[in-house]
Amino acid sequence: MEKNEKKYVTYGSCCPGTPGAKKDITTCCFMLAPMTDRFVDVILEGLKKVDTSRVWTETDRMGTTYRGRRDDVIDAVEACFVHAWQRDVHMTMEMTLTKGCPGDSDCDFKLSDLEEKANAAGIRDIHFPADCRWSLYPLGTDQYMKGIADVVNHSIDLGLYRRTGHAGTILQGDVQDLFAYFSWVFRWCEQHFSHFVMEISWSVNSPTPEE
Amino acid sequence: MEKNEKKYVTYGSCCPGTPGAKKDITTCCFMLAPMTDRFVDVILEGLKKVDTSRVWTETDRMGTTYRGRRDDVIDAVEACFVHAWQRDVHMTMEMTLTKGCPGDSDCDFKLSDLEEKANAAGIRDIHFPADCRWSLYPLGTDQYMKGIADVVNHSIDLGLYRRTGHAGTILQGDVQDLFAYFSWVFRWCEQHFSHFVMEISWSVNSPTPEE
């Protein structure tokens, strides 16, 4: 390709503080990693069991993306993780949950007008312990450390907090309680920040003993 | 635990714009996920082959952390990824590379005064293609979108850019070229931002065909 034919990106023309999408769109990108020779089946079975009728979805080499209403997106990714979980398989999941990017736009989304969540009833009786390392990144504001402390302190109140690691907070608890907490954090952030990103690394059935 | 005995975190007393660590410390937290029944051996063999004499290191249930000089930390995590790579194993690695957090402190680090990198000579002839989904989060500034566009455009110049995904940029290339690019981005960010985080999801040997 000739130099003068290159198509450069121009996020610099975005307006920080103003979400690029005008509609109320939440994005979740995630990547399951079941550490077993049967990884293809585990991932595809998990994805297949999710009712994705209320979110836009795409799966490629780098994982799966859901876009839609906040509650529908979180419901769908929780369902995928819970359905992929197997008692004897160590699995991690990297999950990015975000809203308000100035570079986003009103494309690739579904906004349902149905009240109840599509997957909640089917997964609410499935419980297992999970470990998380997670970080919150509120963008475009210098008041971010106070906000991070406020949401971390809520995890202390809920009994999910284990410790503050380098570059992230370590949580542990029942998968349902952890997803409920992250859903609370997301709603909290919607009230306080124009653009924010939650990066959550999940781990289940780790053979490494706890400290 | 009684409510009044709870130990809350107080990042809110940090000073945004001022790194908490006064020394020149880079942090990398990463989690390897080889999708094979032999995952324990693959991870431990990879970790063992890294010369960690120039970084502080800790491995627990949530992965491994290296802290030290920028070049030593990036050299060590690249060596771990390259040594863990196996021709027939699909593997992902989630990697957080960061500097300047107001909540950081001068603890858990090693700052070597040796010029050359510990692992570079041992890995420079190992080449394989890798896919990445990555995001840059400059914190505490409203000028972040322009900075992100500038570094993404450099990946276009280098021929590593594939496309802009939802909530991240998709890169593809030789593992050595990708690490060299991320090292360049890190140095660029040191010049432009007080606190920044790079989140990089790596994938090798994916059985999913390219679009």
Q: What is the per-residue pLDDT across B134-173, written as a single tens digit (0 to 9) for each?
A: 999 999 999 899 999 999 999 999 999 999 999 899 999 9
CB-CB contact of B96 with B197 (8 Å): yes
Amino acid at position A92, single letter: T
Q: What confidence tens digit (pLDDT) does each residue in A87-117 have?
A: 999 999 999 999 999 999 999 999 999 989 9
Cβ atoms of A112 and A43 within 8 Å: the answer is no
- The shortest CB-CB distance from A144 to any of B16, B148, B165 is to B16
A141 vs B157: CA distance, rounded Å: 30
Are B33 and A92 within 8 A, CB to CB? yes
The size of the A-B interface in CB pairs under 8 A is 195
Q: Are strands B63-68 and B26-34 parallel, antiparallel or unpaired?
A: antiparallel
Smallest CA–CA distance, residue B171 to chain A, in Å, is 10
- Which residues neighbour A131 within 8 Å (Cβ) at sequence distance 6 or greater? A170, A171, A172, A202, A203, A204, A206, B61, B62
pLDDT digits (tens, 9 = 90+) for A168-188: 999 999 999 999 999 999 999
Q: Are A58 and A100 in contact (CB under 8 A)?
A: no
Q: Do B33 and A33 touch (CB under 8 A)?
A: yes
Alpha-carbon dihedral sign for residues B47, B50, B53, B55: negative
- Among 3.10.180.10, 3.40.50.300, 3.30.70.930, 3.10.310.10, what is the CATH number of B15-105+126-204? 3.30.70.930
pLDDT above 90 covers what percent of chain B?
A: 88
Cβ of A210 and B61 within 8 Å? yes
Residues in B closer than 8 angstroms to A92, CB to CB, are 31, 33, 94
Identify which of B9, B156, B167 has the shortest CB distance to residue A96: B167
pLDDT (0 to 100) of residue B211: 74
Chain B residues with CB under 8 Å of A35 CB are 33-37, 39
What is the structure's pLDDT at A1?
45
Share of chain A above pLDDT 70, in %: 97
* pLDDT over threshold 50, residue B1: no
Nearest C-alpha in B relative to A206: B61
- Give me the residues paired with residue A168 across strands: A165
Structure tokens at B93: 């690695």
Report strand pairing: A91-99 vs A63-68: unpaired
Query: What pLDDT score was predicted for residue B14?
Result: 80
Assign domain A21-104+126-204 to its CATH architecture.
Answer: 2-Layer Sandwich (3.30)
Site from A2, A5, A10, A11 to mutate, B interface, most B CB atoms within 10 angstroms = A11
pLDDT beyond 80 at A5: no
> For the purposes of burial, counting CB atoms within 10 Å of the CB of B112, is it exposed (0-12), middle (13-18) or buried (19 or more)?
middle
Contact A156 B9 (CB under 8 A): yes
Amino acid B6: pLDDT: 78
Helix ranges (DSSP H) in chain B: 39-48, 70-84, 120-123, 144-157, 175-192
The single-letter DSSP state of residue B108 is S
Q: Residue B34 above 70 pLDDT?
A: yes
A191 has pLDDT over 90: yes
Q: How far apart are the first and last CA of chain A?
A: 53
Min Cα separation A78/chain B (Å): 19
Contact B96 A168 (CB under 8 A): yes
Q: What is the pTM of this model?
A: 0.95
pLDDT in tens, B105-117: 999 999 999 989 9
Residues of B in contact with A203 (CB under 8 A): 31, 61-62
Rounded to 5 degrees, what angle do the CA atoms A132, B134, A83 make?
40
Interface probe with B: pick from A27, A145, A178, most Cβ of B within 10 Å: A145
- Contact B166/A211, CB-based, under 8 Å? no
- Sheet of B63-68: strands edge to edge? B56-60, B63-68, B26-34, B91-99, B195-204, B129-139, B168-174, B161-165
Torsions phi, psi for B21 (to 5 deg): -80, 135
Chain A residues in contact with B167 (beta carbon < 8 A):
27, 29, 65, 96, 98, 101, 197
Is A4's pLDDT higher than 70? no
Question: Minimal Cα distance from B147: which residue of A?
Answer: A12
Q: Measure in Å the smallest separation between the Cα of B34 and chain A Cα atoms.
A: 6
In terms of C-beta density within 10 A (0-12 exposed, 13-18 middle, 19 or more buried), how is residue B201 classed? buried
Confidence class of residue B7 from pLDDT cuts 50, 70 and 90? confident
Residue of chain B with shortest Cα separation from A101 = B167
Q: What is residue B26's predicted lDDT score, i.e. its pLDDT?
A: 98
Q: Closest-CA residue in chain B for A16?
A: B142
**A16–B142: do the CB atoms touch at under 8 Å?**
yes
Rounded to whole angstroms, the Cα distance separating A49 from A52 reads 9
Residue A129 has what pLDDT? 98
